[in-house]
Amino acid sequence: MEKKLIVGLTGGFGVGKSSVAQLFKNRGAEVIDADKIAHDAMKKGSPAFDRVVELFGEALHPGGKKMDREKLGRIVFADPKRRKGLEGILHPYVLEKIKEKLAATDRRVVLVEVPLLFEAGFETLCDKVLAVTCNAPVKLKRLKRKKFLEPEIRARERAQMPEALKKRKADFIIDNSKSIYQTQREVERFWCKFVALSKMR
Domain range annotation of the chain = 5-199
Rounded distance between C-alpha atoms, residue 47 and residue 192, angstroms: 39
pLDDT in tens, 11-50: 999 999 999 999 999 999 999 999 999 999 999 999 999 9
Round to whole Å and give the CA distance between 15 and 166: 12
Sign of CA dihedral 136, 155, 121, 33: negative
pTM to 2 decimal places: 0.92
pLDDT digits (tens, 9 = 90+) for 95-117: 999 999 999 999 999 999 999 99
Question: What is the structure's pLDDT at 55?
Answer: 94
| CATH fold of the domain at 5-199 | Rossmann fold (3.40.50)
CA atoms of 166 and 185, how far apart (whole Å) = 22
Helical spans, DSSP H, in the chain:
17-26, 34-41, 49-56, 69-78, 80-104, 117-120, 136-145, 150-158, 163-169, 180-199
Q: State pLDDT tens for residues 48-88.
A: 999 999 999 999 998 899 999 889 999 999 999 999 999 99
CA dist 164 and 24 (Å) reads 23
d(CA 89, CA 10): 21
pLDDT value at residue 149? 87
